[in-house]
Structures are given as C-alpha cells and as structure tokens.
Amino acid sequence: MVDLGVGQDTTNTIYTDSQSVFVVARNPIFHARTKHIEVHYHYVKERLSAGEISLAYVPTQDNLADLFTKALSREKLEAFRKSLDLLPFVD
C-alpha cells in the first residue's frame, strides 16, 4: 500500500482456504523442495515475515471469494449471494 501512496496502521488479513500457503509462509527455512514453488507463495512469505500481512484460514465451504472465481452449484451460489447481500439475477 505504501508503494501506492496509501498509508495504514494495521496489517492486511488475507483469508485463504489453501493449506499450502500456511505451510510455506510459516516455515522460516528454505528447503530444496520449496525451490520450484510458485513465486506468489514466496512473496506471501516475505510479506508475512515483514509484518505487512497476516493469514487467516477460512474453510472452503465458507470461502465467499469462490462466488467470483469458481463454478458453483445453484444452492452454494444463492447462499453466497445472500451472504454478500447481492440482489438476485432476474431474466
């Protein structure tokens, strides 16, 4: 946020259902097995250690972001839509 000229006093919390993010981000030791892990995992690890972000687990079935990123069943779509107070789609 500082790079964008927006200051803030608190850390940003990133909610994720990815267990691999937690494993890599919280492991302070670089192993040969983590050498080929995607760059964004290492970026998260750096930002976490710098105190700029914090991670919080959200179970997959409760991950509202899936509404925008995945094909969902009608029931799950409606439940997430209602959770976000979005209006129903009308033909």
What residues form DSSP beta bridges with 13? 54
- pLDDT tens per residue, range 3-15: 778 777 778 888 8
| pLDDT recorded at residue 51 | 85
pTM more than 0.85 = no
**% of the chain with per-residue pLDDT over 70:** 79
Q: Positive or negative, the Cα torsion across 54, 58, 63, 66?
A: positive
Parse the chain into domains and list their residue ranges.
Answer: 1-58, 60-91
Look-up of token digits 């964004």: 40
Torsional class of 5: left (φ above 0), alpha (ψ -120 to 50), beta (otherwise): left
